[in-house]
Chains A and B, each alone.
Chain A
Amino acid sequence: MPNIFDFKLVFTQIPKLLSYLPVTLEITVLSMFFGLLLGLILAIVKIKRLPFFTQVVSIFVSFTRGTPILVQLYLTYYGIPIFLRYYNYYNETNYNLNSIPSLFFVLVTFSLNEAAYNSESIRAAIQSIEKGQIEAAHSLGMTFFQVLRRIIIPEAFVVALPTLGNALISLLKGTSLAFVCSVVEITAQGKILAGANYRYFEVYVSLAIIYWVMTIIIEQFIKFVEKKVIIPD
């Protein structure tokens, strides 16, 4: 039988790919973290209808949702150095453009992208909370931040959990685009491996397996958390 599809290779090269899994996970976890944090802030700006900031947030969210993540990656990758060169020129500073690690561009892009999407999920979750609880908290004498931390976030988290879980899964797979900023994560490593042995199909099958397994783990984790936070009748 001709060796058109190297079945064994699909599995034997998985360890080589997995050695770059930490990079994939690092991008996913950090971007999700900053995306949640910034998303919460954006959501609050929108809910409180802060003048000026609300408009800025709206434009930001609209732009981020309206452009492909690939384009956004290129924009930060080329945009930040250009911005820095102008900054150096006008302020006579001497920031070294090459000292910025590639990973930085990827983290900035994914964090901002996540923030834009999450801000909408978080806003909807917060607005779904029964207003009475918030009034009760205020009537006890709690400040806005105490109410936010003690009442609003725990309650909104439960509502937003399924959507945020979705976002996390998309993000995990989205990190496969990080190679355009010359960050090597599992997909980039796969391309490198295939470049050497021309077994492209095999490597993509391996990658598919890895992403799928990772996603199943995330799904199970979300299910577990959902079960934890539910209050029985």
Chain B
Amino acid sequence: MIEINGLSKKFKKNVVLDNIDLKIEKGDVVAIIGPSGAGKSTFLRCINLLEEADTGTIKIDDLQVDVNKKTKKDLINLRQSTAMVFQQFNLFRRKTALENVMEGLVVVKNIPKNKAEEIALVQLQKVGLAERVHYYPKQLSGGQQQRVAIARALAMSPKILLFDEPTSALDPELVGEVLDTIKATALEGNTMIIVSHEMNFVKKVANRVLFLYNGKIIEDGTPQEVFGNPKNERTKEFISKLAYSIAPEYQI
């Protein structure tokens, strides 16, 4: 279970996250939507401490971290409990797909190389890249790179997966394969938070949708509730503007 309490962050005078509380149950697939600049990515990055929040506590199972009083050990532990998939994939350029996935296992988890390779191969097979394990990132398409990144995150068997706009940097025709992979990951019962602009995808995969606006969660409910019957004015406006992009159904 993940519990976030009183998470706030300012960039100079600009309030990005305003005292956010959030509780996520195991197996939940939470989508965060909202206009640009609402703090969606910052929120995600604060959870694994890539970004330093000003105040707040983050609790993942038994590990509780106060962002103001965190030790180096807290930092490493928290990051090991989470795994992130980035918008720009962020694969290690000088390592093959296999080495990318093995890296965390060998260096962080101290798993022997042959065992790590086994795990990595299984994960790469799951994302459909068994044929490409010895390719370097630049020899792979964007969609394939993002799938390697997902395999890299999954291999760490994190307690929560964080997806930061995983398809925003992809060519439209490559979005589908990545969304399929994320969906498969969700169906396996992984707990995850997804920041995404793919509303059709969010509707189908998430069991909870948060609408983030000006650093606050102003809408929180099932996809049906948030998309079908939003309570907040700002959410209504956002959803209505999406109307036409929702219309053509996405094929998964």
Chain A contacts to B: CB under 8 angstroms? 130, 132-133, 135-143, 146, 150-151, 154-155, 158, 231-233
Chain B min CB distance to A131 (Å): 9
Please measure, in the bound complex, the distance between the C-alpha atom of A151 and the C-alpha atom of B80, giving whole angstroms. 18
B residues adjacent to A (C-beta < 8 A): 48, 50, 72, 76-77, 79-80, 82-84, 86, 88-94, 103-104, 107-108, 136, 138-139, 149, 152, 156
What are some 19 contacts across the A-B interface (CB < 8 A)?
Answer: A130-B90, A130-B93, A132-B86, A133-B90, A133-B92, A133-B93, A136-B84, A136-B149, A136-B152, A137-B92, A138-B79, A139-B48, A139-B79, A140-B79, A140-B107, A142-B107, A146-B107, A150-B103, A154-B94
- Kindly list chain B residues whose C-beta atoms are within 8 Å of the C-beta of A139: 48, 50, 79, 82-84
Complexed CA–CA distance, A29 and B176 (Å): 54
Instruction: Name B50's contact: one of A138, A143, A150 (CB within 8 Å).
Output: A138
A150 to B94, CA, bound (A): 10
> Quick check: B86 and A141 within 8 Å, CB to CB?
no
**Which chain B residue lies CB-closest to A150?**
B107
B90 touches A132 (CB 8 A): yes
For B76, list chain A residues within 8 Å (CB).
141, 143
Q: How far is the CA of A102 from the CA of B31 in the complex (A)?
A: 69
Known: A132-B86, A233-B138. A140 touches B93 (CB 8 A): no
Residues from chain A with Cβ under 8 Å of B92 in the complex:
133, 136-137, 151
Which 3 pairs across A and B sit closest by C-beta, in order of nearness?
A: A132-B90, A140-B104, A136-B90
Q: Which residues of A contact B152 (CB under 8 A)?
A: 136, 140
Q: Which residue of A lies closest to B76 (CB)?
A: A141
Q: How many A-B residue pairs have CB under 8 A?
A: 68
- Measured CB to CB, the nearest residue on chain A to B88 is A132
B90 touches A140 (CB 8 A): no
CB distance from B159 to the nearest CB of A (A): 12
By the criterion CB–CB under 8 Å, are A136 and B86 in contact? yes
Give the shortest distance, in Å, between A155 (CB) and chain B (any CB).
6
B94 and A141 within 8 A (CB): no
| Chain A nearest Cβ from B47, distance in angstroms | 10
Check A155 against B94 for contact (C-beta < 8 Å): yes
Chain A hits for B156, CB < 8 A:
140-141
Q: Which residue of B lies closest to A140 (CB)?
A: B104
Docked pose: A143 CA to B110 CA in angstroms = 13
Given contacts A135-B50, A136-B84, contact A141 B90 (CB under 8 A): no
Residue of A nearest to B155 (CB): A140
Q: Which residues of B contact A143 (CB under 8 A)?
A: 72, 76
Q: What residues on B are CB-neighbors of A154 within 8 Å?
A: 94
Q: Nearest-CB distance from B151 to chain A (Å)?
A: 13
**A150: which B residues are within 8 A, CB to CB?**
103, 107
Contact across chains for B91 and A141 when beta carbons are under 8 A apart: no
Q: Give the complex CA separation of A142 and B90 in angstroms.
A: 15
Shortest CB-to-CB span from A231 to chain B, Å, is: 5
Which chain A positions have C-beta within 8 A of B107?
140, 142, 146, 150
Q: State the CA gap A139–B85 with chains docked (Å).
A: 9
A158 vs B80: C-alpha distance in the bound complex, in angstroms? 29
The smallest beta-carbon distance between B238 and chain A, in angstroms, is 29
A173 to B183, CA, bound (A): 62
Most buried by B among A133, A138, A143, A233: A133
* Chain A contacts for B86, CB-based, 8 A: 132, 135-136
CB proximity of B84 to chain A, nearest CB, Å: 4
B138 pairs with A141, CB closer than 8 A: no
Extra contacts besides A140-B156, A150-B107, A233-B139 (11): CB < 8 Å:
A133-B91, A135-B50, A139-B82, A139-B84, A140-B79, A140-B103, A140-B104, A141-B156, A158-B94, A231-B139, A233-B138
